[in-house]
A = this chain, B = another copy of it.
């Protein structure tokens, strides 16, 4: 097993997908230990640091990468398995941000209202109990929330030479902000350029579905990922696989189009895996599918569509790459004990 390490220096973080030289080059089957900054670039250090004042909008969501995957070519599918995602600091941060979030006027849903109050919540993070502590500000109310760490932003270089700010999720992945991107899950990304150029960041100690206020419990992370390639297997949109579900994503506006994309992707995938024709797969998804929101705040909204794997009658996605990566992760775990 080849194990790499990627710990970017402050000036090495990237704020875009595309157009950047790799910080690291790996091979399919390799494991990477990667550290990521929080979405504020670490600049919010206390509850009195007002995010909109200490961070420029274009410097939100620094990502670690790109990582070049040797042999990856346009048309391939990159499998990124999250071996582990562990908060790197003793605190996580959430906030409202002026004109950002699902329940406020925004720059796109333009209205005559002023932005909502900008408020910052500091969570203490306790790895022992695997919880984060919420403390309300309007009254004496606290709660320990279970950790469920994930990466909000994971993507590859876009097609056609585009360079995109990391805050936008799209066909190349990016800031999808789905809680499904947790340890034990494999994310599949279509490759657009030689080397794929994978970057990731925006860890959340946990996040509700929809990322309603615009932020999760933002947290720097120490993560371990394993990568593999499905040659010629490019899907139109990012997909995920856990032990129990195959999952598809759609990241566009409006939300019903994000829903439509994710559902059509799931119908197509189920059809490919089972040999059912489109209408039969449509029926299967209609009765057995789940449809949680991922984010309804980013420049594109993301919906996820999920189908239990047991409904596929033994079919296995991409030649069982998820299972192999799970084994690799287990092996890595054993090594590190």
Asked if A267 is at the interface of the complex by the 8 Å CB criterion, the answer is: yes
How far, in whole Å, are A297 and B292 apart by their CA atoms in the complex? 16
A335 vs B289: C-alpha distance in the bound complex, in angstroms? 37
Is A5 part of the contact surface with B, judged by Cβ < 8 Å?
no
Distance between Cα atoms of A206 and B311 in the complex (Å): 15
* Residue A253, interface by CB 8 Å: yes
Assess whether A55 is interfacial by the CB under 8 Å rule: no
Q: Which of A44-52, A76-84, A158-166, A224-232 contacts B (4 or more CB under 8 A)?
A: A158-166
Interface membership of chain A positions 198-228, coded 1 if the CB is closer than 8 angstroms to chain B and 0 otherwise: 0000000011111111111100000000000
A273 to B: closest C-beta gap in Å: 11
Task: Give the most central of A116, A263, A311: most B CB within 10 Å.
Answer: A263
**A272-301 CB contacts (< 8 Å) to partner B:** 274-280, 282-293, 296, 301
In the complex, the answer to whether B210 meets A291 with C-beta atoms within 8 Å is yes
Interchain CB contact (< 8 A) of A210 among B104, B216, B259: B259
Pick the interface stretch among A26-34, A35-43, A132-140, A317-325: A132-140
Q: How far is the CB of A30 from chain B (nearest CB, A)?
A: 29
Residue pair B292, A292 in contact (C-beta under 8 Å): yes
Contacts of A296 in B (CB 8 A): 256, 259-260, 291
Determine if A21 is an interface residue (Cβ-Cβ < 8 Å).
no
Interface size of A by Cβ–Cβ distance < 8 Å?
90
Is A90 an interface residue when CB atoms closer than 8 A count as contact? no
Specify which chain B residues have a CB less than 8 angstroms from the CB of A15 in the assembled complex. 160-161
Cβ–Cβ contact B259 & A141, under 8 A: no
What is the CA–CA distance of A60 and B7 in the complex, to the nearest angstrom?
Answer: 40
Most buried by B among A113, A117, A311: A113
Asked if A103 is an interface residue, CB under 8 A from chain B, the answer is yes
A250 CB within 8 Å of chain B: yes
For A163, give the chain B residue with the smallest CB separation: B163
With contacts A16-B161, A255-B259, A276-B141 taken as known, whether A282 is within 8 angstroms of B108 at the C-beta atoms is: no
- The answer to whether B19 and A260 have CB atoms under 8 Å apart is no
A13 vs B98: C-alpha distance in the bound complex, in angstroms?
Answer: 40
A240-B277 Cα distance, complex, nearest whole Å: 37
Flag if B109 contacts A289 (CB, 8 Å).
no
- Of B217, B252, B293, the residue contacting A287 (CB under 8 A) is B217
- Inside 8 A of A288's CB, which chain B residues have their CB? 145, 208
Q: State A94–B276 Cα separation when bound (angstroms).
A: 17
Pick 18 A–B contacts, CB within 8 A, sort by A: A96-B283, A104-B111, A104-B113, A108-B252, A109-B109, A110-B257, A113-B114, A136-B280, A143-B311, A207-B286, A207-B287, A209-B291, A210-B286, A212-B263, A216-B286, A217-B287, A256-B296, A259-B296
Chain A contact residues, CB within 8 Å of chain B: 15-16, 18-19, 58, 94, 96, 102-105, 107-114, 116-117, 119, 121, 134, 136-139, 141, 143, 145, 159-165, 206-217, 236, 250, 252-257, 259-261, 263-265, 267, 274-280, 282-293, 296, 301, 303, 305, 311, 313
